[in-house]
Structure 1
């Protein structure tokens, strides 16, 4: 493997890991902080991708306006879902949470089929980001993929600062440890959890929207990303934003280079990595927070 090929695969692994982190960050917020096993989280990623496809003609094909409108709709969807469904799951057994959220997967898939059908779709890369940069004499790398990585990094940094350096983040972390104490201080924990859930849904949907131009949009795409996101959460440590970040980057490296160097075993390398890390640190790489 020469230097230019190695650099391309490194950039691919970074982009994949950062996209994975965006989806997994919403999952670790809902699962680790709110205590709900949300099997429907991958569907929010799928919804985001389909919104990127469906909203584009309605806003004149402006990709950035599509992202903005889709993000607003995702926040509204998350807020309403928490109010209508998830607010009743906090004190329920995990089996009830699993059954409820699995039912939501079926509902989302059926609604998607009724609205846009079961065909495979694609989203065009915006013209301003459609170029490539040279890597060596013959290799090039798409500018849009670099844009995706940069946006993911900025969003990851922003979310980390919110949860570790702001009063809102302090209230959310306190609410995950002792809900009754936070309520006794006069904080509306129900509204706080609603905001957290809406943020988790919006982040996953945003990941789906920005990934749409570099991958196909197809039925059931959320189910595949859900499994790997649970692996990210487990490796990083349940409820750990920082852990999810490092775990997603690690999985991105293992998966990308595994497909290049060990294609026959690439399908199991991520799960072998998870097993080895859990043997070393059974609670994941980092503590919650």
Structure 2
């Protein structure tokens, strides 16, 4: 029973990590209708930025804040200089963001090298918690807490604030939002920056869990796309449920069926798409 509980909590920790990056991806997709294939590299960049500033003897939490701010600023720059020119052009979006992912990944290799790096757990959370007969890392429980806190924040922003109302309206009818005098361009820039900041946050928190290595951007992008597709395009609520499902299944799969864990996840995605092509919480397109 203790082993089962430990694996379940581990799956929740990875699920919350997947949710944090998938939430940014699905918000950008839902509001801006942009498939950002460079999202995984922003995740990787967030981890390496924290690693750099910790190496300069800065506190982990300050380094995390710097990472989130820098990835958000990078998101603003990318949206203003490049992304805004390909709105409504799906093929151009895919090619542009795919190319950006290669450029950012090569910059990361150029600056930090190709050797696997380790991001230390912050001293405050470098401990274990006894739950019955089980001892579980406190940092993983912290990641679960942050993921749940982010879900509450997104719910509040969506349902209780004017910005959330504008974003919901933009998802339904962007032309009408623009006709009401709302600066849609500014909203899009803010949404893209917020999504990039979530990628940076998930990378910074994910570094101590999964390490840092070349290729991690592609792996996390594939997993986050699976989460978004299962949950429903543009639905952060769907991403939350889907991320937990993927995280738990992947974790238990690695224990019981090590060579088939990702295959099981892909099979679940196929079943969901057959039953509900729009995803668990996606809306049907008329």
Q: TM-score scaled by structure 1?
A: 0.94
What SS class does the counterpart of residue 129 from structure 2 fall into?
strand
Q: Please tell me whether residue 189 in structure 1 is matched to residue 184 in structure 2.
A: yes
Match among 251, 254, 277 for residue 272 of structure 2: 277
Give the count of matched residue pairs. Answer: 283
Could you tell me how far 1:118 is from its partner in structure 2? 1.3
Query: Comparing 183-192 with 111-120, which one deviates more in the overlay?
Result: 111-120
1:68 maps to: 65
Q: What does residue 221 of structure 2 align with?
A: 226
Paired position in structure 2 for 1:52: 50
Shift of 1:214: 2.0
- Rounded to whole Å, the distance in 1 between the matches of 2:272 and 2:102 is 33
Q: Does 1:261 align with 2:256?
A: yes
CA deviations over 1:184-203 (Å, ceiling 9, x no partner): 11100000000000000000
Q: Deviation of residue 61 (structure 1)?
A: 3.2
* Offset of residue 98 of structure 1: 1.1
Between 272-281 and 259-268, the greater mean CA deviation after superposition: 259-268
- Matched with 1:8 is 6
Instruction: Tell me if 1:87 matches 2:114.
Output: no
1:165 equivalent among 160, 167, 177: 160
Following the alignment from structure 2 to structure 1, what is the Cα–Cα distance between the partners of residues 111 and 260?
38
* Alpha-carbon shift at residue 68 of structure 1 (Å): 1.2
CA distance in 2, matches of 1:238, 1:165: 22
Alignment partners' CA distance in 2, 1:152 and 1:233: 16
Question: In structure 2, which of residues 110, 128, 142 is the aligned counterpart of residue 132 of structure 1?
Answer: 128
TM-score for the superposition, normalised by structure 2: 0.95
Looking at structure 2, the residues matched to 141 and 149 of structure 1 have their Cα atoms a distance apart, in angstroms, of: 13
1:199-252 CA distance string (max 9 Å, x none): 000001100001111221011211111111111111111111111111111111
Q: In structure 1, what is the equivalent of residue 25 of structure 2?
A: 27
Give the CA deviation at 1:164. Answer: 2.3
RMSD: 1.3
For 1:269, what is the secondary structure of its paired residue? Answer: helix
